[in-house]
Structure 1
């Protein structure tokens, strides 16, 4: 009986803290294989590279907890970036205007997704797949298919600047993470998000306005896609309609690896952060070890499948 009890304790521990252990093991293995990996300059570089995917992943956590999905975030990121950078040329408009336009574009795309999903009862996969195509197309039309360059120094500082020695994108990511943790853990809205993911019908019967909560969930996702678009475009100093391709998959991977269930009702921002860091550390470490980008894609896919299998096992 004691052996069974110990096994159950180990299984419970792994279910709760396995992702954190995996992250530490990954960092340790990469440090042993390539000692310069642990240098402070490289750690800062990893955090800066992780920031954009992490921002998207925080929003995706809200969506997936409701048992939804958003495949449009990469395209919405590009559209927001193009809209923001078009107003970020030196000496033309105030910086705040370009930032607001980028955020509003992201919010509008998220709101449209939310209305079609929550009010029209269309499948999130279909709605966001359509938005992925529409947003990318609008970005291409608006920019005539060319990157928007010649951005103001103040705009470029958002993605390339430092504050107290910390990259600005990392600070933005940290603020969004703390805000996400607060909303999910300590607000009524956060409790409703979990309730909808656990059982939407029961949540509706209990008096929760599930339509409004779902719409706002996708608005949050759109807004964070807008933030990510601003950060990325300022970091590369241009707004390209081609940017963000495949970012939706990286965001979903970070969320799933972090322990958020694709079936809804289970998940945390802290797990998502670790999932995003695992993705960032893996990309950086494999690059430093000169592993082919083709094999990196194979490793990413295998990790996602493993995470989904563990999620399914934990629910059985």
Structure 2
């Protein structure tokens, strides 16, 4: 027979196991991030320097902004594969407006934001009303934009002095105000350490966090993602919520494209190749942060920081570029293990 003391010991042991699982689920990925920083700091010279921090912040900014847009679609149970091509299209559009059409920075920014909103609206319409699966609809849009952004210049990057297909010379330039969005740094803590793009990321992350967590619209988006049918029976305009999620994603991707154009000072046709993979990785890694097990703005921001630290560390270690995607994939698998395998075990 099992005595009362034995039962108590078994219960205490089970309690300790559950507590350990909870700690691993909630803080395991943050510990992994801290360990990664410590590893790179010990393995490379200058990783903890202000210059390295600036590079990390700059890479985090654009990736994080795009990932926040992906997060909005994940909240409603969707997915957006077109964000990288939207960002590149916005970058090319900004360059075309200022360099080829010789217009001001304000018109360039407005054009980019309109592109993002229109693409998001089309994606939402295809998914909600045409019932095209989200992966297929956004994948088709990705290929469409990749081709469309190359047509005006016949596949060439846009820069001042380039010869256009009709033989004319592009004489416009990027305005200094526009370039400051991608190049200016604030002197808050250390001189020239905090780029404008990082401030924009922080502001957007706080806005989308507050929007999703503390507004009725945001909570209803979570409801749609959790159980679309139940939300519909409750009277929620499910179609509108899903379309708005893709519009948000498109606008955020366009903002990322604007910052990329401002950083480069040209319309580089190949500069957005890795944006999709890095942003999706950041958004999915966010599921593992603090055991959220759901898309969330804070986790996405931490995921973007993780990707930035990882890429900067690998670069400073002179790791071959073709190994970086493999490493990112491995990290993403680990994050998903923290998110789903451990959390599901803890629920048993």
2:229 is the alignment partner of 1:219: no
2:12 is the alignment partner of 1:12: no
Alignment of 1:1-316 (within 5 A): 1-89=11-99, 92-150=102-160, 151-164=174-187, 165=192, 166-259=194-287, 266-313=294-341, 314-315=343-344
> Do the aligned partners of 2:288 and 2:335 also contact (CA within 8 Å) in 1?
no
* Structure 1 gap segments, 5+ residues each: none
Distance 2:321 2:214 in 1: 41
Alignment CA distance shift 1:212-1:265 (3 Å):
farther
Alignment CA distance shift 1:199-1:156 (3 Å):
same
Deviation at 1:142, TM superposition (A): 2.5
* Structure 2 gap segments, 5+ residues each: 1-10, 161-173
- Give the stretch that moved more between structures: 248-257 or 126-135: 248-257
Q: Residue by residue, what CA displacement relative to the aligned partner does 1:233-273 show, whole Å, maximum 9, x if unpaired?
A: 11111113333123212111111112169xx9822111111
Distance 2:120 2:239 in 1: 14
> Do the aligned partners of 2:104 and 2:175 also contact (CA within 8 Å) in 1?
no
Deviation at 1:55, TM superposition (A): 0.5
Distance 1:77 1:57 in 2: 12
3-state SS of paired residue (1:87): helix
- Give the stretch that moved more between structures: 107-116 or 35-44: 35-44
Alignment CA distance shift 1:61-1:243 (3 Å):
same
Q: Normalising to structure 2: TM-score of the pair?
A: 0.85
Deviation at 1:186, TM superposition (A): 1.0
Deviation at 1:16, TM superposition (A): 2.1
- Give the stretch that moved more between structures: 86-95 or 136-145: 86-95
Deviation at 1:144, TM superposition (A): 2.2
Deviation at 1:91, TM superposition (A): 10
Q: How many residues align?
A: 314
- Give the stretch that moved more between structures: 118-127 or 236-245: 236-245
Q: Normalising to structure 1: TM-score of the pair?
A: 0.94
Larger Rg: 2
Distance 2:14 2:317 in 1: 42
Q: Residue by residue, what CA displacement relative to the aligned partner does 1:144-185 show, whole Å, maximum 9, x if unpaired?
A: 211112322222221111234421111111111111111111
Deviation at 1:108, TM superposition (A): 0.6
Distance 1:3 1:267 in 2: 33
CA RMSD of aligned residues (A): 2.0
